[in-house]
Amino acid sequence: MRVELENLSKAWDGVVGADRITLDIADGEFVAFLGPSGCGKTTTLLMVAGIYKPSGGTIKFDGHVVNEVAPKDRGIGMVFQSYALYPHMTVFGNISYPLRIQKVNKTEIKERVQKVADMMGIGDLLDRKIVQLSGGQQQRVSLGRALVKEPQLLLFDEPLSNLDARLRLTMRGEIKRLQEEMGITAIYVTHDQVEAMTMADRIAVMSGGVLQAYDVPTDLYEHPKTQFVAGFVGNPPMNFFDVEIVAMDGEFRAKSGSIDLALPRDRAEKAAAAGKDKLIMGVRPEDIYLVDDAEPAAPGRTLTAAIEVVEPLGREDLLGVTVNDVEMRVLVDKTKGAAVGDNVDLVFDMSSVQFFDPETEQSVLWT
Amino acid sequence: MTEKQLSATEQLMEQEADSLARAAIGAPKQPRSSLGRRVRSTVSAYGFLLPAIALVITFFIIPGILLIILSFTNLSSANFTEPWEFIGFANFERLFTDPFFPKILRNTVFYVFTTLIFFNLGLALVLALVTTNIPRRRGFFFRLVWLLPRLTPSVVYILMWKRIGSADPFGIYNQFMPEVLGASGGNLFLGGAPWAFVILTNGFVGASFGMIIFTSALMSIPEDLITAAKVDGASTWRIIRDIKLPLIKWPLLFIATYQTLSLLTSFEYILLLTEGGPGLFTTEVWALTAYKRAFSSYFGNSQWAFGATWAIVLVAVALVMAVLYVKIFKFNELVEEPRIENL
Amino acid sequence: MGSGKTGRFFSYAFLTLSIVPILVGYTWLVIATVSTRTRGLLPINAEGGIGGLTLGNWSFVFESAIWSAMLNSLLIAVAMVIGVGIASTSGGYALSRFKFPGRKGFLTGTLVLHAFKAEMLLIAIFFVLRWLGEIPLIGPYIGFNSVGGVALVMVALELPLGIWLMKGFFDNISWDMERAAMIDGAGRFRVWWQIMLPQVRPGIAALALFTFIAGWNAYLVPFTFTIGTKVANMPVYLNQLISDTAPVNWNQVAAVGLFQMIPLIIFFIFTQELLLNIYAGGSKGT
Ligand SMILES: Nc1ncnc2c1ncn2[C@@H]1O[C@H](COP(=O)(O)OP(=O)(O)O)[C@@H](O)[C@H]1O
Ligand SMILES: [Mg+2]
């Protein structure tokens, strides 16, 4: 099912939940709503579900406005973070509930429930009480309940947040596989960018009720259109500093205090074209190296920094460093004995550097 | 829910199932108009409220209005076969010029605030603090015993207090208490100490309500908070003053409000214990006056209209206080907005 | 209070002292029911010495009046459980979960009425009941001087508490569960009946227990709105025993009192946790 949101808004006297959200979702597409807690993801999703009534804008399913259609008539299935299972019913009771309301005949109910349950790997748990299930099993029941009525649109509200890390990983793959196999359009709300990046065809990044960006995952990462998106997508988050762009000897440099870095021509020209005195430069922690990690120290791309914190992440180390007074995070393969208090030389890979207008926080590179 | 139970409610749900079947077939159902939907949502809310509304109208609203109308008539059991005769504000004049009016007013204020402060609020708080400060099962036991008066039928409960306060040779107090403590051998509730008995009987029932509310509030204070304070070296008294009391502020205000209103308008135990005596109006409170004027036959006559006048003035006072309380304590803000907006 | 041994000692001393009047009252009640006479807490025989135990006080169980009073008490209590149960579970649900014009007013009204003892309205309710009694056919069953009328009034008086209590229980159910049910295809009535009510069963049990006790113990309303022995319930019957006979046989009165407490004692023994939680549950959200 194709879903179109046009200027979809929701406000409760004074509180803005969603502010003029406009986006479209193609049939069979998997879209993630990504954003920090309280940014309006659930609000938007519940409007799509028909639980909240929009204060403005329209929701279209396959071209029909459905603003006034009751949730039960929208042909949707929904999975909640809290699972929202009916504790007084068995697994069978839960999964079959939508069918029983539709008065599907009993043999068909049995067949369909069994089929969905087998698909979810809970086929032998149908007689269990909900309280006897683990969190992962409960989430499968909840998914089964959403799928059993063969909806045309699946809604997920942070479905994996209550699960432990390992289970989250497997469920992630499973949900994605099921969705692809069944070809159901899906909207997946999450605050976990890894989830969004790995599962979604397109990601809608939200903040403060506003849609910040709507793009395929790689574009969000490589061509962030706002500083918010740049900072929110990618972990650990991007480093930002105020810089001036200076042209010298046919070369562009980003300067600020003791920071002085040579810029690649294509990006520098676009940045300079913005005509601002000051810009915000963004460099990802993974684009900064310890000198002997990579190439030998290159002139114009190296800064000396003092290590303040070392956080071992296993395969890599996350360093908190300061270049004079500017703090930044650096992701390096291994510190090779570098310890807190040491001074090290850092090399900046400037080919993926970002620039933002300090007033509008919009990217000056991508529009 | 079993299949059987499902079919029991089938008929009521016919309509829902019908619309769902349509949805299952395909295209979304024709949307209802926005107004239509809002009306439907309101109608179904009022549908759920219907039994409550019917009862509230019959037994609160109509009686409330009737009380006002009655207070302007001279209706009594002596003339109730005749049409109602309206006599203007005569009843109100009579009420405020009643020689016993100041006494009744003083009694009411004294009764409400003494019982409230010493029992319904004070003792309730102390009981909650003490019973939550000893091992769980023991605290539970004492609270349970304190609940007994509330569960006992009022007639039996007052009967027990009457026996405690009876004159020799029946009275228990007179049997066991030495004379220095005021055992005179006489009847206490209709003689020596009527107010003490009125307040004790009401207080022993009233305190358990606050005790239970405060206990549940106290028990929901995170243990960590108390531990942290203890680590900081706070004494038990400091912990109560600085942590527990501030954290149960809302329940305290709630009980204060609730019990003021409830003491002001209830009189059942006084009616059973002293009937407002001994003598003239010694323990008579406003609510009891209203009741007695209307239903006990002074001079063989139930003065319904005059009783209604006493009642309506008290109701007015109580309602004004109630509304003030609701406003001052902002009870409204504690009301959560519904998080489902569609039918 | 306080920590340490002295604190402990004072805690228990205070608590024990505080319950003395209660324990003394019940002790007398029990002793009196099996004594010919009592002096203070002591059973006394004809010669004035300690003794004279008897079961004679319990002879009332062979009289039909007590059983008719018991039946009336039971009718009032059961009617209350059903009436308050239906009106509160449905009304409480609407107030907890629906958005509709007048909701704030209803909530404030419920809160105020719940504290406000409606006993002040009895004078006017007296007239309402007399009018209800004029209704053809059903009038005699719900009007003045009928068990049904008393039950109706009692239901109404307990309703604000019931609604507030049930609203508190509904408030605690996750919104997601109700949303899930609506997406599964249920309308609000079905959600209420099949999804919500099963979740608030503890609340319904608490409310049922509370209203049963209130109905069983009811004195003021039946006393005001009934005349004579035919429609008297147990407390009214007991009070008639005290005020209509002279001299009062206190020991028989005690026996009737204890007799009427039997169901309460059973509740008291088997539903302790529930009893102590009723009020706490009802005040949620305030
Ligand atoms: N029913 C509601 N009434 C009032 N405010 C709400 C309601 N639902 C959400 N909000 C507010 O709207 C904002 C967005 O909330 P939500 O959509 O739940 O965020 P998210 O799901 O992204 O964490 C928050 O500020 C929240 O407090
Ligand atoms: Mg959310």
Interchain contact, A68 vs B23, CB within 8 Å: no
Q: What is the pLDDT of residue C142?
A: 81
Number of domains in chain A: 2
In this prediction, residues A13-23 reach a mean pLDDT of 90
**Which backbone phi and psi does A363 adopt, to 5 degrees?**
-70, 140
Tell me, yes or no, whether A274 and A193 share the same domain.
Answer: no
- Chain B neighbors of A61, CB-CB under 8 A: 28
Q: What is the pLDDT of residue A335?
A: 59
At position C80, the amino acid (one-letter code) is: M
> Which of A202, A232, A262 lies at the terminal end of a domain, its last residue?
A232
Tell me, yes or no, whether A221 and A267 share the same domain.
Answer: no
Tell me, yes or no, whether A261 and A112 share the same domain.
Answer: no
Domain ranges of chain B: 50-97, 110-301
State the DSSP H helix or E strand holding residue B315, giving kind and residue range, or none if neither.
Answer: helix B304-328
Could you report the per-residue pLDDT of C73-108, keeping only the tens digit for each?
999 999 999 999 999 999 999 988 888 888 888 888
CATH number at residue A187: 3.40.50.300
DSSP C156: H
In this prediction, residues A129-158 reach a mean pLDDT of 93
Cα of A158 to ligand 2 centre, how many Å? 7
Tell me, yes or no, whether A198 and A54 share the same domain.
Answer: yes
Q: What is the pLDDT of residue A147?
A: 93
Could you report the per-residue pLDDT of A113-138, keeping only the tens digit for each?
999 999 989 999 999 999 999 989 99
Q: What is the pLDDT of residue B37?
A: 63
- Chain A neighbors of C181, CB-CB under 8 A: 86, 97
Q: What is the pLDDT of residue A297?
A: 57
Tell me, yes or no, whether A18 and A140 share the same domain.
Answer: yes
Nearest residue of C to residue A73 by CA position?
C185
Strands A210-215, A202-207: pairing kind: antiparallel
> Which of A232, A250, A281 lies at the terminal end of a domain, its last residue?
A232
- Residue with the smallest CA separation from ligand 1 atom 24 is A38
Q: What is the pLDDT of residue A91?
A: 95
Average pLDDT over all residues of chain C? 83
Does the pLDDT of residue C62 top 90, yes or no? no
Q: Which two tokens stand for residue B6?
A: 């499902």
Q: Are A44 and A56 in contact (CB under 8 A)?
A: no
Asked if B35 has any chain C CB less than 8 Å from its own CB, the reply is no
Q: Which residues surround ligand 2, an ion (CB under 5 A)?
A: A 42
- Chain A neighbors of B21, CB-CB under 8 A: 102-103
Nearest residue of A to residue C196 by CA position?
A86
> Minimum mean pLDDT among A5-19, A53-67, C110-124: which range?
C110-124
CA distances from B112 to A34, B195, B213, B292 (A): 58, 12, 20, 19
Cα of A38 to ligand 1 centre, how many Å? 6
Tell me, yes or no, whether A302 and A206 share the same domain.
Answer: no
With a 6 Å cutoff on the Cβ, whether A15 touches ligand 1 is yes
Tell me, yes or no, whether A49 and A148 share the same domain.
Answer: yes
3-state secondary structure at position B158 = helix
Give chains near C: 3+ CB pairs under 8 A. A, B
Q: What is the pLDDT of residue A253?
A: 83
Could you report the per-residue pLDDT of C133-169, keeping only the tens digit for each?
888 887 787 878 788 888 899 999 889 888 988 888 8
A183 found inside a domain: yes
Q: If you write DSSP's letter for every residue of A40-108 in order, what string do you get?
A: SHHHHHHHHHTSSPPSEEEEEETTEE-TTS-GGGS-EEEE-TT----TTSBHHHHHHHHHHHTT--HHH
Ligand 1 pocket test target in B339, B340, B342 with most atoms within 8 Å of CB: B339
Neighbouring CB atoms inside 10 A of B226's CB total 16
A154 found inside a domain: yes
Instruction: For chain A, give the percent of residues with pLDDT over 90.
Output: 49
- Chain C neighbors of A46, CB-CB under 8 A: 179
Does the pLDDT of residue C198 top 90, yes or no? yes
A212 found inside a domain: yes
CATH number at residue A263: 2.40.50.140
Q: What is the pLDDT of residue B15?
A: 45
Q: What is the pLDDT of residue B335?
A: 64
A361 found inside a domain: no
Instruction: For chain C, give the percent of residues with pLDDT over 70.
Output: 94
Spans of chain B, pLDDT less than 50: 1-32, 343
Q: What is the pLDDT of residue B23?
A: 40
More confident residue, C140 or A31: A31
Q: Which candidate from C176, C187, C190 shows the least CB-CB separation from A84?
A: C176
In this prediction, residues C115-120 reach a mean pLDDT of 74
Could you report the per-residue pLDDT of A309-325, keeping only the tens digit for each?
888 887 788 888 888 78
Does the pLDDT of residue C112 top 60, yes or no? yes
Domain, as residue range, for A72: 3-232
Tell me, yes or no, whether A108 and A255 share the same domain.
Answer: no
In this prediction, residues A10-28 reach a mean pLDDT of 91
Does the pLDDT of residue A162 top 90, yes or no? no
Tell me, yes or no, whether A194 and A302 share the same domain.
Answer: no
Q: In angstroms, what separates the C-alpha of B284 from chain C's closest C-alpha? A: 15
Q: If you write DSSP's letter for every residue of C231-285 in order, what string do you get?
A: T--HHHHHHHHHHHSSS--HHHHHHHHHHHTHHHHHHHHH-HHHHHHHHHHHTTT
> Topology of domain B110-301, per CATH?
MetI-like fold (1.10.3720)
Of C79, C57, C107, residue with least CA distance to C258: C57
Tell me, yes or no, whether A259 and A206 share the same domain.
Answer: no
A367 found inside a domain: no
Q: What is the pLDDT of residue A333?
A: 78
Tell me, yes or no, whether A228 and A243 share the same domain.
Answer: no
Query: What is the rounded CA–CA span in Å between residue C117 and residue C96?
Result: 23
> Which of A179, A206, A232 lies at the terminal end of a domain, its last residue?
A232
Tell me, yes or no, whether A279 and A163 share the same domain.
Answer: no
Q: What is the pLDDT of residue A49?
A: 93
In this prediction, residues A212-226 reach a mean pLDDT of 90
Q: What is the pLDDT of residue C272?
A: 81
With a 6 Å cutoff on the Cβ, whether A34 touches ligand 1 is no
Interchain contact, B216 vs C280, CB within 8 Å: yes
Interchain contact, A73 vs B27, CB within 8 Å: no
